Amino acid sequence: MLAFVLRRLGQSAFVIVAMAALVFLSVYAIGNPIDILLAPDADQQERAAAIARLGLDRPLWQQFLTFLVNLAQGDLGKSFVFGSDAVSLILARLPATLELALVALVLAIVAGIPLGILAGLRSDGWIGRGVMTGSIVGFSLPNFWLGIMMILLFAVELKWLPAGGRGATGTFLGLQFSLLDPAGWPNLLMPALTLAIYKVSLVIRLAYAGTREAMLQDYVRFARAKGLSPARIIGVHVLKNILIPIVTVLGLELGSMIAFAVVTETVFAWPGVGKLLIDSIARLDRPVIVAYLIIVVGMFTLINLAVDILYSILDPRVRLADGGH
Amino acid sequence: MTAALQVSNLETHFFTRAGVVKAVDGVSFSIARGEVLGLVGESGSGKTLTALSILGLVDPPGKIVAGSIRLGDEELTGLSERSWRAIRGKRIAMIFQDPMMTLNPVLRIETQMIEAVLAHAVMSKDNARQRCREALARVGIPSPDERLTAYPHQFSGGMRQRVAIAIALLHSPDVLIADEPTTALDVTIQAQIVAEVQKLAAATGTAILWVTHDLAVVSGLSDRLAVMYAGRIVEEGPTTEVLARPAHPYTQGLLRSLPVNNQRGRRLNQIPGSTPSLLRLPPGCPFAPRCEARQEDCVSTRPPESQHGTERRLRCFHPLGEVSP
């Protein structure tokens, strides 16, 4: 187990370095940030000074080497635009995105699994058909449209929820979290719901398919022949079997929610990392882009690791083998 | 003495879009305490559905439409689901064909056994575990303490079937239904399992309904034999009598198609044709189209059941030879 975890972390370190090189070079290729950073009326002297300050006068390999050495020390450089540390810039915004994704994930699990199982058990009845039709709608609605419609309905028409913004937050370990302050919950609800709808539909479909398959298995029949109650059969025998694919997909989806919640964040003016990334790309703020992607890759790695460990808990036939194939 | 299980004129039909499938069409038999009845037939003859009907486990669109199932003095047809559940696993238990499939792959043996104990008995978890340990020891599983915490995939096929048998016999049921429990096993393991079941059932006076397509297995095991064809029992009698002097042409066909020693190189006899569709049974004897002794009345009229002596019953107009009592 420990060997497995260490090995996986080693692999991710390699992925991070490879990815860093790729991003570093491609952002370099896109254009010179100086053109964007300086005022159009800056003279040649100011220009040369800025280039020297940012280290852009050195050859590319030197820039990259400096970057790598700093990376090894955990220093991802300073933002060209804000002049502050890229990592702390991202960390200041990350909690907003993290809690958004987390709430959406919980919604997907809490709503998706029971609805999917119910639909699977009643697949011929109107409940099953209704839930499955609903999930298709949930799949098909574009995120931004759903967000705008929700703002129109709940914020503009009914005035139940605020239209956007972060709202009140509580502080934990120096980071800001809406979840810690109930006054911030209304602000969190709509963006989280918007982000969750697609995931809920996804989980419904997985739970539905899994339940239908599991109910036909001999172990369910044997469990019934033992005289077990339906609650026990579905809640233990079926649930544990269908969780395996759901955990896989949700692991991937959690990563993508954190990394690419941009659309939802934009619609609800949610100050998360997605917005920061888009701005940084527009201004060719190389340190921030690279730092962001490194953090995202690190996060994906950790989520995948967590999924693999969950696997071995859910399915005893899965071993956390060192060999790997 | 009342029989342990008395099934009379049982009819289980499936209401499909294509029409009504009479999977079990007037089946009657009884089993005394401690007796073993072999129920033999080809795939699709309705033997498994007869077994499932006795447990009340026929799923829609299937339904018991007529007949009676008496367990001791109690009538089971028409019971509520809750009352059925109190009987399943306690008074009637069942073991299934494929031990790879009947145990839930993601739950520990312990979990699956203890839940079976607690479904029908009020006791502490520790006492239940103790009972499971004894049950495993009784079916010949070495070091039951360790094995309890194992998962099904850590057992061989034969061991898994022993676990299933241990679970089925946890509550010393009045009736044990064995649905081809040895088909998926090696021949040597088959013999062990058969001997094991025989011994355990004899100890508790459990009546056994042994459902199989394998005449060789039941011949050494069952006291009486019932041969099923197209949803009906076509011949029934003491095993030795039926095997020595089959009266129904179908039984004779089955016996002839068994491979016998010292017949190398000779073609096996086979019954021509295949089982009829249960959706469109011919008006006469369902076996008539494949029968060598067929006459005109066979095609037009369905042969009623006739009693020969005290122990043999038959559905045939033209039995082979003199039917001995």
Q: pLDDT tens-digit profile of A268-322?
A: 888 888 888 888 888 778 788 888 888 888 888 788 888 888 887 888 777 665 4
B77 and B178 in a single domain? The answer is yes
Q: Report the residue of chain B nearest A229, measured CA to CA.
A: B85
Instruction: Looking at the complex, report in whole angstroms how far the Cα of residue B81 sits from the nearest Cα belonging to chain A.
Output: 10
Q: What is the pTM of this model?
A: 0.79
**Does B180 map to a domain?**
yes
B50 and B168 in a single domain? The answer is no
B145 and B242 in a single domain? The answer is no
Q: Say if A70 is an interface residue toward chain B (CB within 8 Å).
A: no
Q: Is the ipTM of this complex over 0.95?
A: no
Q: Which of B57, B76, B94, B104 to mutate to test the interface with A (most CBs of A within 10 A)?
A: B104
Q: Say if A121 is an interface residue toward chain B (CB within 8 Å).
A: no
**Does B61 map to a domain?**
yes
In sequence order, which ranges of B124-175 are alpha helices (DSSP H)? 125-138, 144-148, 157-168
Mean pLDDT of A73-99: 81
B193 and B242 in a single domain? The answer is yes
- Residue A232: half-sphere exposure toward Cβ, Cα within 13 Å: 20
β-bridge mates for residue B233, sequence order: B228
Instruction: Looking at the complex, report in whole angstroms how far the Cα of residue A133 sits from the nearest Cα belonging to chain B.
Output: 24
Average confidence score pLDDT of chain A: 82
Q: Report the residue of chain A nearest B150, measured CA to CA.
A: A316
Residue A66 has pLDDT above 50, yes or no: yes
Interchain CB distance below 8 Å, A227 and B151: no
Q: Report the residue of chain B nearest A215, measured CA to CA.
A: B59
**Can you give the pLDDT at residue A158?**
83
Interchain CB distance below 8 Å, A227 and B94: no
Q: Report the residue of chain A nearest B121, measured CA to CA.
A: A227
A222 contacts in chain B (CB < 8 Å): 94, 96, 102-103, 164
Express as a percent the part of chain A with pLDDT over 90: 10
B223 and B279 in a single domain? The answer is yes
**Does B27 map to a domain?**
yes
**Does B238 map to a domain?**
yes
A244 contacts in chain B (CB < 8 Å): 106
**Does B319 map to a domain?**
no
B164 and B26 in a single domain? The answer is no
**Does B103 map to a domain?**
no
Where residue A325 falls among pLDDT bands split at 50, 70, 90? very low
B279 and B218 in a single domain? The answer is yes
Tally the domains of chain B: 2
pLDDT in tens, A144-168: 888 888 888 888 888 787 777 777 7
Least confident interval from A118-122, A225-229, B216-220: B216-220
With tokens 């002839």, the residue in question is B256
Instruction: Looking at the complex, report in whole angstroms how far the Cα of residue B127 sits from the nearest Cα belonging to chain A.
Output: 18
Q: Nearest CA to B245 among B300, B292, B308? A: B308
DSSP annotation string for A204-240: HHHHHHHHHHHHTSHHHHHHHHTT--HHHIIIIIIHH
The answer to whether B94 and B173 have CB atoms below 8 angstroms apart is no
The rounded distance, in Å, linking the Cα atoms of A40 and A34 is 10
Which 3 state secondary structure label does DSSP give B176? Answer: strand
**Can you give the pLDDT at residue A25?**
80
Interchain CB distance below 8 Å, B57 and A225: yes
Which of B135, B153, B172 terminates a domain? The answer is B172
B73 and B157 in a single domain? The answer is no
The CATH number linked to B237 is: 3.40.50.300
Minimal Cβ distance to A315: which of B96, B102, B106: B106
Instruction: Looking at the complex, report in whole angstroms how far the Cα of residue B89 sits from the nearest Cα belonging to chain A.
Output: 4
Q: Which of A122, A124, A222 to mutate to test the interface with B (most CBs of B within 10 A)?
A: A222
B147 and B223 in a single domain? The answer is no
How are strands ordered across the β-sheet holding B232-238? Answer: B92-95, B175-179, B207-212, B36-40, B224-229, B232-238, B312-314, B306-308
**Can you give the pLDDT at residue A204?**
93
Express as a percent the part of chain A with pLDDT over 70: 97
Q: Which residues 166-225 of B are in CB contact (within 8 Å) with A? A: 167-168
B150 and B177 in a single domain? The answer is no
B129 and B196 in a single domain? The answer is no
Which residues, at least 6 apart from B105, have a Cβ–Cβ distance to it below 8 Å?
A219, A241, A315, A316, A317, B151, B152, B153
- Residue B37: half-sphere exposure toward Cβ, Cα within 13 Å: 27
Q: Nearest CA to A306 among A238, A237, A252? A: A252
With tokens 């001791």, the residue in question is B72
Which of B146, B172, B198 terminates a domain? The answer is B172
B76 and B202 in a single domain? The answer is yes
Interchain CB distance below 8 Å, A221 and B96: yes
**Can you give the pLDDT at residue B262?**
59
User: For each of chain B's 325 residues, which pLDDT tens digit applies?
Assistant: 578 888 888 888 888 888 888 888 888 888 988 888 999 888 778 888 898 899 888 888 888 888 889 888 888 888 888 888 888 988 999 988 887 888 888 888 888 889 888 888 888 888 888 888 888 888 888 888 888 888 888 888 888 888 888 888 888 888 999 888 887 777 777 888 888 888 877 788 889 999 988 888 888 888 889 999 888 888 888 888 888 888 888 888 888 877 766 566 667 777 777 777 777 777 888 887 888 777 778 778 888 888 887 788 888 887 777 655 5
Instruction: Looking at the complex, report in whole angstroms how far the Cα of residue A257 sits from the nearest Cα belonging to chain B.
Output: 30
Interchain CB distance below 8 Å, B153 and A236: no
Which of B119, B154, B172 terminates a domain? The answer is B172
Q: Say if B86 is an interface residue toward chain A (CB within 8 Å).
A: yes
**Does B323 map to a domain?**
no
A237 contacts in chain B (CB < 8 Å): 104, 107
User: What is the residue range of B128's domain?
Assistant: 108-172
**Does B102 map to a domain?**
no
**Can you give the pLDDT at residue A324?**
40
The rounded distance, in Å, linking the Cα atoms of A323 and A310 is 19
Interchain CB distance below 8 Å, B103 and A222: yes
Q: Is the peptide bond before B61 cis (omega within 30 degrees of 0)?
A: yes
Which residues, at least 6 apart from B35, have a Cβ–Cβ distance to it below 8 Å?
B4, B207, B208, B223, B224
**Can you give the pLDDT at residue A321?**
55
pLDDT in tens, A190-208: 888 888 888 999 999 999 9
Residue A93 has pLDDT above 70, yes or no: yes
Interchain CB distance below 8 Å, A232 and B115: yes
Instruction: Looking at the complex, report in whole angstroms how far the Cα of residue A225 sits from the nearest Cα belonging to chain B.
Output: 5
What 8-state DSSP symbol labels residue A58? S
Q: Report the residue of chain A nearest B97, measured CA to CA.
A: A218
Q: Which residues 201-260 of A are in CB contact (within 8 Å) with B? A: 217-219, 221-229, 232, 236-237, 240-241, 244
